[in-house]
Amino acid sequence: MIKDKVIIITGASSGIGEATARRLARDGAKLVLGARREDRLKDLAGEIEQAGGRAVWTALDVANAGDNHRIVEAAIDAFGRVDAIFLNAGLMPSSPVSALKTDEWDRMVDVNIKGVLHGVAAVMPKFLEQKSGHILATSSVAGLKAYPGASVYGGTKWFVRNFMEVLRMESAAEGTNIRTATIYPAAINTELLGTITDEKAAEGMKELYDAYGIAPERIADVVAFALDMPEDTTVNEFTVGPARQP
Ligand code: NDP
């Protein structure tokens, strides 16, 4: 049951995170929304509350460990507990290795990898105390297969895959009742392509997304499916994308 679950969503200001927030709010979740664009979060939380849902928001840069602790504290202040965290914030400045966009490599490591680690570190003490919790993270099909242009991006998403799977195995062995779910989206129409600065990579991606991209609401649907499972069941991994994308 999603109703009354307290769920933190990072990257809630657009795309997959925003669509998931709207979906879970309709299902009766109590939401804590995080991202850097405060105006977006404020508007989204306001819309949800006006429609009869529950949502608070906190400005957060997932690359900052302290911000991750603050959003968990905000959830506890607002709703008294945390049932799930959706570690979804990310960026995808694709480029060939030869372009040597080292600042973008650093940023992807900071946000896509460290953002997930800091999020888990921030929420884990609460989950251990509660003896239950659900950790969901957005990887990518680029975390399953190598794609030119996605050397570093794909690497960060392979990291998420490995980390989440080991976390699942350890949690099961330790009997902590902490469940995990890793999502591998293919081409989803969001603002993600706006993070690409390499002209050729941007053109190639635009062509792919124009041809195949599907709505972020489809990812929201599968996140809701995983969250809706009873406590004795885990949906570990799912790949979701356009039916026509090769
Ligand atoms: P969007 O660009 O629409 O959303 C990205 C979200 O991440 C925004 O809310 C953005 O908010 C947030 N974000 C980015 N950097 C930070 C940061 N440092 N701290 C906090 N929040 C941050 O793209 P998507 O919805 O597509 O992306 C969501 C996830 O899905 C990402 O992890 C992405 O890699 C993954 N993904 C997407 C695919 C697609 O085709 N769209 C395919 C595979 C995976 P703000 O700028 O306000 O901080």
- From 92, 110, 239, give the residue whose CB has the most ligand 1 atoms within 8 Å, as the site to mutate: 92
Given the CA of residue 62, which atom of ligand 1 is nearest to it?
19
| The model's pTM | 0.98
Is 245 within the bounds of a domain?
no
Is 147 within the bounds of a domain?
yes
In this prediction, residues 112-139 reach a mean pLDDT of 98
Please state, as a whole number, how many other Cβ atoms lie within 10 Å of the Cβ of residue 59.
Answer: 16
Is 1 within the bounds of a domain?
no
Whether 245 contacts 212, CB under 8 Å: yes
Identity at 244, one-letter amino acid code: R
Given the CA of residue 195, which atom of ligand 1 is nearest to it?
2
The domain tally of the chain equals 1
Identity at 144, one-letter amino acid code: L
What pLDDT is recorded for position 110?
A: 98
What is the DSSP code (8-state) at residue 58?
A: E
In this prediction, residues 57-85 reach a mean pLDDT of 98
What pLDDT is recorded for position 181?
A: 98
Ligand 1: distance of its center to the CA of 15 in Å?
7
**Mean pLDDT computed over every residue of the chain:** 98
With residues binned 3-state (H G I as helix, E B as strand, rest as coil), the percentages for the chain, rounded to 5, are 50, 15, 30
Token pair, residue 194, equals 């706006």
The residues, ordered by sequence, that sit 6+ positions from 246 with a Cβ below 8 Å of its Cβ are none
Token pair, residue 139, equals 């990887």
- In sequence order, what E strands does the chain have? 6-10, 30-35, 54-59, 84-87, 133-138, 178-185, 237-240
- Token pair 């959003």 is found at 71
Ligand 1: distance of its center to the CA of 175 in Å?
32
Catalytic residue (choose from 153, 184, 209, 212): 153
Given the CA of residue 183, which atom of ligand 1 is nearest to it?
44
From the number of C-beta atoms within 10 Å of its C-beta (0-12, 13-18, 19+), residue 229 rates as: middle
Angle 128-28-35 from CA coordinates, rounded to 5°: 65
Instruction: Map residue 180 onto helix, strand or coil.
Output: strand
Closest listed residue to residue 166, CA positions, set 184, 155, 182: 182
What pLDDT is recorded for position 240?
A: 97
What pLDDT is recorded for position 89?
A: 98
Identity at 57, one-letter amino acid code: W
Is 246 within the bounds of a domain?
no
Closest listed residue to residue 119, CA positions, set 170, 159, 84: 84
Tell me the CATH number at 187. Answer: 3.40.50.720
Confidence of residue 200 (pLDDT cuts 50, 70, 90): very high
What pLDDT is recorded for position 163?
A: 98
Ligand 1: distance of its center to the CA of 173 in Å?
32
Q: In this predicted model, what pLDDT tens digit does every residue of 160-198 receive, in sequence order?
A: 999 999 999 999 999 999 999 999 999 999 999 999 999
Residues at CB less than 6 angstroms from ligand 1: 10-17, 35-37, 40, 60-63, 88-92, 111, 138, 140, 185, 187-188, 190-192, 216
Cross-strand pairs, 182: 137, 237
The Cα 87–Cα 157 span in angstroms is 12
The Cα 224–Cα 38 span in angstroms is 25
Q: Domain limits at 195?
A: 6-239
- From 61, 85, 88, 214, give the residue whose CB has the most ligand 1 atoms within 8 Å, as the site to mutate: 88
For residues 117-142, b (16+ Cβ closer than 10 Å) or e, as one string? bbbbebbbebbeeeeebbbbbbbbbb
What pLDDT is recorded for position 177?
A: 93
What pLDDT is recorded for position 198?
A: 98
What pLDDT is recorded for position 145?
A: 97
Given the CA of residue 17, which atom of ligand 1 is nearest to it?
25
User: Is residue 153 annotated as a catalytic residue, yes or no?
Assistant: yes
